[in-house]
Amino acid sequence: MNTTTKKIILLLLPLLLCAVNPASGQPVFPVKVSENGRYIVDHNNNPVLWMGTTQWQIFREYTLDEVRIILEKTSSNGFVFIQAMLMGVGDGTKPNVYGQKPWINDDPLAPNEEYFKNVDSVIRIARDNNLIFSVTLYHQRYRKCITLENARAWAKWLAGRYRDVPNIVWSMTPEAKQEFVPVLRELAAGLHEGDGSFHIITFKPDPAPYTSSFIHGENWLDFNSMQTWNRVDLIYPMVTKDYNLQPVKPVLMAEGAYEEGSEYGFEVTPLWIRRQAYYSYLAGAHHTYGHNDSWRVLPTWKKALDAPGAVQMGVLKKIFLGLNQWWYLVPDQSIFAAGGRTGGKILNLAARHKDGKWVMVYLGGKTNFSINMNKITAGNKVNASWVDPKTGYKVAIGGFSNTGIESFSTPDGWEDAILILKASDRRKSST
């Protein structure tokens, strides 16, 4: 390799690293909605699994050195999307750790360049770590500053600044009330004017539980997001309702109970975290995780980056990426001959590949159940495996016919369990 070639490779390396997610081997940004409206794809139309986390205060409450620690760890744990509030939690007027406020005289039409230079740096570090920010540019607590009169101009300026930055999704957080719809429309219009519709847009109502689908028909709303807060029992019905809406749009369970959260009246354990996530995905949605210590910026925030629930979201991601064409998941409770459960806090859910290549079953607790094996239609034999959602440990349990009904019991000692059935035939195995 000559010197010139080495120089070219060194120049191109940062671009290559920014374009490829090492966890999945796929380019991940810029992103858009798939043609069938079910999932997110990149600029090459490769499906991207929305494995999200929350760092609401990252633009305001951390130094850039701390930001680098957070984002490097976030990427290594398998997350791809980060939900963050551009002006942080509160009314939008508080200064960042360097003493810079977002706006001069709290006027969104007079942005403070020094504040946004810091934002630029945070987004750049995220890009270096193959991460995409879902940036909340409006929260209902910002409404004293961002109004119907200035919303479009504010959003246009912001979108123009980040017009060519590929690792951004825009989001807004109003209350789920019709009175907020006019300002949302103005914000969306400003975003489209500022970046030529380069970035996709969603919003997540707050307070919860509620979903953005109450204005599903708005053309600017690229995908629906929801917040269920402490109501794990609402995930399945809320996702199912949104999944079946027309026109089809992706569904994101964007905020549930935070791991080790202190405000819910119960302990938010790693098991609870796993249930929230698998309920979301098996019902046909995407999912975002959160930890109490991160959004509250507690002294233990570094330790929280490797909390059990966060690590187990990485396990979930690997399980899904191990399925052939995971993006063709179709929720289907008729997979159960007996034992399916869609109501309450402990659910048993099932989904399949649209062409019958595989079935995934999530059991939220110890249980017995049976499966209609004819749901595996892509081969004449079915290979079955148990997977522990806590560790990813996999146990093969043999081959079955794709006819009749088979009974199963979750493994002893497991808190929850995944059963994966994959089609194969005698000539060639299909993974």
- What is the per-residue DSSP string for 111-140? B-HHHHHHHHHHHHHHHHTT-EEEEEEEEG
Q: What is the pLDDT of residue 270?
A: 98
Q: What is the pLDDT of residue 28?
A: 61
HEC string of 287-347 equals: EEECEHHHHCCCCCHHHHCCCHHHHHHHHHHHHHHCCCCHHHEEECHHHEEECCECCCCCC
Q: Is residue 5 part of a domain?
A: no
Q: Is residue 143 part of a domain?
A: yes
Q: How far apart are CA 305 and CA 51, in angstroms?
A: 15
Question: Worst-scoring range by mean pLDDT, 176-180, 206-210, 263-267, 421-425?
Answer: 421-425
Q: What is the pLDDT of residue 425?
A: 62
Q: Is there a single domain that holds both residue 225 and residue 365?
A: no
For residue 97, pLDDT beyond 60:
yes
Q: Mean pLDDT across the stretch 229-248?
A: 98
Q: How far apart are CA 326 and CA 318, in angstroms?
A: 11
Beta bridge partners of 353: 329
**Please, what is the average pLDDT of the chain?**
93
Using CB atoms within 10 Å of the CB of residue 431, give its burial: 0 to 12 exposed, 13 to 18 middle, 19+ buried: exposed
% residues pLDDT > 70 (the chain): 92
Q: Is there a single domain that holds both residue 315 and residue 223?
A: yes
Q: How far apart are CA 431 and CA 422, in angstroms?
A: 7
Q: What is the pLDDT of residue 151?
A: 98
Q: Which residue has the tokens 């409206």?
A: 37
Beta bridge partners of 132: 81
Q: Mean pLDDT across the stretch 87-109?
A: 98
Q: What is the pLDDT of residue 107?
A: 98
Structural domain boundaries, residue 28: 14-321
Q: Mean pLDDT across the stretch 3-10?
A: 39
Domain boundary among 321, 346, 361: 321
Q: What is the CATH number of the domain that holds 222?
A: 3.20.20.80
pLDDT tens-digit map of 399-409 = 999 999 999 99
**β-strands 132-139, 336-338: how paired?**
unpaired
Q: What is the pLDDT of residue 27?
A: 47
- Local confidence band at 382 (pLDDT 50, 70, 90 cut-offs): very high
Q: How many domains would you assign to the chain? A: 2
For residue 13, pLDDT beyond 90:
no
Q: Is residue 429 part of a domain?
A: no
- Going by C-alpha positions, the residue among 107, 81, 106, 82 that lies closest to residue 94 is 106
Tokens in use for 315? 């396990």
Q: What is the pLDDT of residue 380?
A: 86
Q: Is 429 helix (H, G, I), strand (E, B) or coil?
A: strand
Q: Is residue 431 part of a domain?
A: no
**Cβ–Cβ under 8 Å, residues 418 and 360:** yes
Q: Is residue 232 part of a domain?
A: yes
Q: What is the pLDDT of residue 29?
A: 86
pLDDT tens-digit map of 131-165 = 999 999 999 999 999 999 999 999 999 999 999 99
- Going by C-alpha positions, the residue among 19, 44, 50, 77 that lies closest to residue 327 is 50
Q: Is residue 6 part of a domain?
A: no
Q: Is residue 414 part of a domain?
A: yes
Q: Mean pLDDT across the stretch 325-332?
A: 98
- Helical H runs in 79-197? 113-128, 151-161, 181-195
Q: Is there a single domain that holds both residue 84 and residue 178?
A: yes
Q: Is residue 9 part of a domain?
A: no
Q: Is there a single domain that holds both residue 282 and residue 396?
A: no
pLDDT tens-digit map of 246-256 = 999 999 999 99
Q: What is the CATH number of the domain that holds 401?
A: 2.60.40
Q: Mean pLDDT across the stretch 385-394?
A: 98
* pTM to 2 decimal places: 0.92
Angle at 142 between CA 140 and CA 143, to 5 degrees: 70
Q: Is there a single domain that holds both residue 313 and residue 231?
A: yes
pLDDT tens-digit map of 178-204 = 999 999 999 999 999 999 999 999 999
Q: Is there a single domain that holds both residue 309 and residue 376?
A: no
Ramachandran category for residue 296: left, alpha or beta (phi over 0 → left; psi -120 to 50 → alpha):
alpha
Q: What is the pLDDT of residue 332?
A: 98
The DSSP secondary-structure symbol of 154 reads H
**Cβ–Cβ under 8 Å, residues 85 and 141:** no
Q: Is there a single domain that holds both residue 151 and residue 130?
A: yes
For residue 427, pLDDT beyond 50:
no
Q: Is there a single domain that holds both residue 111 and residue 175?
A: yes
Domain boundary among 321, 338, 356: 321
Q: Is there a single domain that holds both residue 311 and residue 414?
A: no
pLDDT tens-digit map of 329-352 = 999 999 999 999 999 999 999 999
pLDDT tens-digit map of 270-308 = 999 999 999 999 999 999 999 999 999 999 999 999 999
Q: Is there a single domain that holds both residue 287 and residue 354?
A: no
Domain boundary among 293, 321, 349: 321
